[in-house]
């Protein structure tokens, strides 16, 4: 049975929940014949990568989908790329502020997601879930963990399908944020299920000749 490791972060930036964590924890343990392993990550630069790498080593998944909150975005976004820089105005959950700091000293400038992002968008749209490709995962912990995992995979796990997905605020986070877009947990959960199914169909069921 193929395995998908799906990660999400704890709350950060003054929020009391992280909608990515709520949605990931609500996923079933199996989707379309794929075993789902759920993992909470700390919103902490170094620890987040260490936590993902330990799970990659112990679980040996075929698929890694990392999920994070991108407050202000109206849709599910499939990140195309992770870049080799930390640069954020807010601190991580251990109070560390990184400014113009390379994630891997001397590492490649960027890594592309190895998920079939265009096919995933088609599948999400077919299910009427608002979704788009994003060309920047920002320069905070989400981009950091995405770069760290893709860097590790490029070196040690060339067959792993891995990438990052950002999701909007949950409605309950926007009660005092006028005009802020949000997405229900049910829609995000459904979206993640569609993403897993799409990765499997396009990566494993329809191999290129």
Options 98, 144, 151, 166, the catalytic residue: 166
Asked about 151 being catalytic, the answer comes back as: no
Q: Rounded to whole angstroms, how far apart are CA atoms 145 and 17?
A: 19
List the structure tokens of 198: 């799409």
Return the bridge partners of 133, or none: 78
Least separation, in Å, of the C-beta of 201 and ligand PCA? 27
- Interface with ligand PCA includes 75 (CB under 6 A)? no
| Cα end-to-end span (Å), the chain | 23
- Interface with ligand PCA includes 203 (CB under 6 A)? no
- Interface with ligand PCA includes 113 (CB under 6 A)? no
Find the binder of ligand PCA among 12, 45, 111, 169 (CB under 6 A). 12
- Interface with ligand PCA includes 68 (CB under 6 A)? yes
The count of residues interacting with ligand PCA (CB under 6 A) is: 12
131 to 170: interface string for ligand PCA, x by CB under 6 A:
-------x-xxx----------------------------
Asked about 60 being catalytic, the answer comes back as: no
Q: Quickly tell me which residue has 């909150």 as its tokens.
A: 69
Element (H, E) at 152: helix 141-156
Based on CB atoms, which residue is closest to ligand PCA, 80 or 203?
80
Q: Rounded to whole angstroms, how far apart are CA atoms 124 and 133?
A: 11
Q: Rounded to whole angstroms, how far apart are CA atoms 53 and 134?
A: 24
Residues 6+ apart with CB under 8 A from 202: 116, 119, 120
Q: Rounded to whole angstroms, how far apart are CA atoms 186 and 105?
A: 40
Least separation, in Å, of the C-beta of 75 and ligand PCA? 15
Classify residue 110 by burial, with Cβ atoms within 10 Å: 0-12, 13-18, 19+: middle
Q: Please choose, out of 26-34, 66-74, 104-112, 194-202, the segment that lies near ligand PCA by the rule CB under 6 A.
A: 66-74
Options 22, 98, 142, 151, the catalytic residue: 142
Based on CB atoms, which residue is closest to ligand PCA, 34 or 145?
145
Active site residues: 79, 142, 166
Residues that bind ligand PCA (CB under 6 A): 9, 12, 18, 20, 43, 68-70, 138, 140-142
């Amino acid at each position: 049975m193929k395995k998908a490791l799906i990660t999400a972060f704890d709350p950060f930036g003054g929020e009391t929940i992280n909608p990515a964590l709520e949605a990931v924890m609500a996923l079933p343990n199996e989707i379309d014949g794929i075993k789902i392993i759920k993992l909470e990550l700390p919103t902490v630069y170094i620890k987040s990568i260490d936590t993902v790498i330990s799970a990659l080593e112990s679980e040996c998944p075929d698929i890694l989908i990392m999920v994070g909150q991108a407050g202000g975005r109206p849709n599910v976004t499939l990140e195309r790329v992770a870049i080799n820089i930390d640069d954020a105005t807010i601190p991580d959950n251990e109070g560390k502020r990184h400014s113009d700091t390379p994630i891997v000293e001397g590492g490649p400038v960027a890594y592309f997601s190895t998920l079939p992002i265009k096919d995933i968008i088609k599948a999400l749209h077919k299910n009427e879930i608002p979704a788009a490709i994003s060309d920047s995962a920002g320069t905070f912990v989400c981009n950091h963990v995405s770069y760290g995992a893709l860097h590790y995979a490029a070196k040690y796990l060339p067959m792993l399908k891995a990438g990052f997905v950002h999701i909007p605020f949950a409605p309950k986070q926007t009660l005092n944020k006028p005009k802020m877009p949000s997405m229900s947990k049910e829609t995000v959960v459904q979206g993640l299920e569609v993403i897993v199914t799409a990765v499997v169909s396009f990566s494993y069921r329809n191999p290129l000749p």
